[in-house]
Amino acid sequence: MKIPNLLKDKRILLLIIVVTASILLIAFKGLQFGIDLSGGTIIVLKADKPMNDKEIEATIRIITERLNYNGLNDVIIYPRGNDEIVVEIPKSCDTDRIIKILKQQGVFVAKIDNITAYTGSDVQNVELPQKIPEGNNWAYGVPFELTLDGAKKFAEVAKGKAYHKVYLYMDGKLISAPVLSPDLADGKPHPKQVITVGSYPPTKEEIDEAMAIYSALKSGALPVKLNIEYMSTISPEFGKDFLKGTAIALLLAFIAVGTIISIRYKQPKIAIPILITCISEVIIILGFASLIGWKLDLPSIAGIIAAVGTGVDNQIVITDEALKKGAGKIRASIKRAFFIIFASASTSIAAMLPLFVLGVGMLKGFAITTIAGVLIGIFITRPAFARIIEEMFKKF
C-alpha cells in the first residue's frame, strides 16, 4: 500500500481535514454535557388538568421567557404527555431560584375595597425593577403601564378613594399594598403604575422577588397551574464515572474488533484501517456536537456507540466485497458494497427521523447523534476507508 498515493486522494484529504477540524473544535470550544453526565436537577411539573397542544406550547414558552428574563438560559424544558413538563437544571444554575419561578402561575390581580381594579391581562410595557421615587425617599419596584381599557377600569374603581389601599395579588398572595394617592383617585385614567417590593437599596431577596414579578407580568400567566410532582438531584460524580467507564468499554471494544477481524481475514493489517476509521467517526461526531453546541447525555453516547457499530458492519461489507471479486474488479465490488451501505443508511435515518422531529429530551439526543454518525459515515469515513482498501488490495 502506497501512502503517498492515498494522501493525494480527495476522499482521504477530506477525512484528514474534518478530523483535524473536529479535534480543534473539541480542544478550543469544548464539549457540553447534559445533567445526567455533568450533574444537576430534574424537576417534573404536573398540570392541574390535561393540556392541549396550544396550552403545552404556551406553557413552555412562558416558562422559558421567565427563566431568560432572569438570566437562566441553560435550562432545558420539554413536555411529557399532555399533563407534565420536565425541567432539567444544570448544577451551575440557582436551583432554588428556578423552583420559585416554576411554582409561579403568574395570575395578577389588583383590588381596591375588594373590587377588582385591573388584572394581568390589562398590563403592558413592563420595565425592569428599578429605583422608584416615593415621597421624600426611594423605593425599589417594577414599573408598568395599563392598557387604555385597564386604565379606565382602574379610574372607575379608584375614583374618590384617596388613601385607600390598592391590594396587589400574585397567585392569590399579597405582594404589595400601596396607599392610593389623591392624584390617582380623581376619576381620570392613569396608565403608569408600579409595584414596590421594598425600600432602596434592595436586599437580594427583594431583587429576586422583583425579578420574579417582572418576569411573570412580562410573560403573562400560565394557562394551567403547575405543581412539582417529582424532583431528583444527579451527582456530577456519576457522569465522571460513566464517561470513564464508556472510554474503557470503547477501548476494549476496539481491541476486540481488531482481534476478531485479524482472525477472520487472517491479515492483521486489515484491522488497522477499520479501527482508524472507527476512531475518526467518534472524533468527528464529537466535533459536530461541539460545533452545534449539542449537550451530550446518556442517549447521545448510546447513539454514538450505535453509529460506530453500524460503521464496523459497513466496513466489513466493503472488505468482503473487495475480497470476493479479486484485484481486477475491486472498484466494481466496492461500488456494489456502497449500494448496500446506502440502503442500510437510508433505513437507519428513516427510523431515526420520527424521534428527531417529534422526540424530545433523551429521544432527540439519541436520534441526533445516530443520524449524524450515519451521515458522517456514508459521506466521509466510508469513502476514505474504501479508498484505503482499494489501495491495499491492489497486491492481492
CATH number at residue 183: 3.30.1360.200
Q: Tell me, what's the pLDDT at 326?
A: 55
Assess if residue 219 is contained within a domain.
Answer: no
Whether 220 is covered by a domain: the verdict is no
* Beta strands 115-119 and 108-112, pairing class: antiparallel
Domain match, 308 and 342 both: yes
In whole angstroms, give the CA distance from residue 200 to residue 136.
Answer: 12
d(CA 340, CA 384): 17
Domain presence at residue 223: no
Same domain for 115 and 177: yes
End of a domain among 214, 244, 277?
Answer: 214
Alpha helices (runs of H) in the chain, residue ranges in sequence order: 3-7, 10-28, 35-38, 53-69, 95-103, 148-158, 204-219, 236-265, 268-292, 298-325, 330-358, 362-376, 382-392
- Give CA–CA dist 121/273, Å, rounded: 65
Q: Are residues 18 and 61 in the same domain?
A: no
| Whether residue 58 is found in the same domain as residue 144 | no
227 grid coordinates: 405543581
Tell me the whole-structure pTM to 2 decimals.
Answer: 0.71
In a domain, 162, yes or no: yes
Q: Of 205, 234, 263, which residue sits at a domain end? A: 234
Q: Do 31 and 60 belong together in one domain?
A: no
Full domain range(s) for residue 316: 3-35+235-395
Closest CA to 364 of 377, 350, 353: 353
DSSP string for 345-364: HHHHHHHHHHHHHH--THHH
Same domain, 291 and 389: yes
Residue 37: its pLDDT value, please? Answer: 82
Domain boundary (214, 246, 269) is at 214
Rounded CA gap, 284 and 373, in Å? 8
SS3 302: helix
313 in any annotated domain: yes
- Torsion from C-alpha of 118, 124, 130, 136, nearest 10 degrees: -50
Asked if residue 268 has a cis previous peptide bond (ω within 30° of 0), the answer is: no
148 and 187 within one domain: yes
* 79 and 152 both lie in a single domain: no
Predicted local distance difference test score (pLDDT) of residue 33:
86
Q: What is the CATH number of the domain that holds 54?
A: 3.30.70.3400
Residue type (1 letter), 312: V
56 with 166, same domain: the answer is: no
156 and 67 together in one domain: no
What is the number of structural domains in the chain?
Answer: 3
Same domain? For 49 and 21 the reply is no
- CA angle, 264 then 318 then 351, to 5°: 110
* Per-residue pLDDT in tens (0 to 9) along the chain, 396 residues: 567 767 778 888 999 999 999 999 999 999 888 887 888 888 999 998 999 988 999 999 998 988 888 777 778 888 888 889 998 888 877 788 888 888 888 899 999 999 999 998 899 999 999 998 877 889 899 999 999 999 999 999 999 998 999 999 988 889 888 888 888 888 888 899 888 888 888 888 888 888 888 988 888 888 888 888 988 888 888 778 888 888 888 888 888 888 888 888 777 788 888 888 989 999 999 999 999 888 888 888 888 888 888 888 888 888 887 777 555 577 777 777 788 888 888 888 888 888 777 765 567 778 888 888 889 988 999 888 888 888 777 654
* 158 and 65 co-located in one domain: no
Cα–Cα dist 340/359, whole Å: 28
Is the CB of residue 313 less than 8 Å from the CB of residue 382?
Answer: no
CATH label of the domain that carries residue 374: 1.20.1640.10
222 is a domain residue: no
Burial state string for 299-334 with b = 16 or more CB within 10 A and e = fewer than 16 = bbbbbbbbbbebbbebbbbbbebbbeeeeeebeebb
Q: Is residue 180 part of a domain?
A: yes
Distance in angstroms (rounded) separating the CA atoms of residues 161 and 111: 12
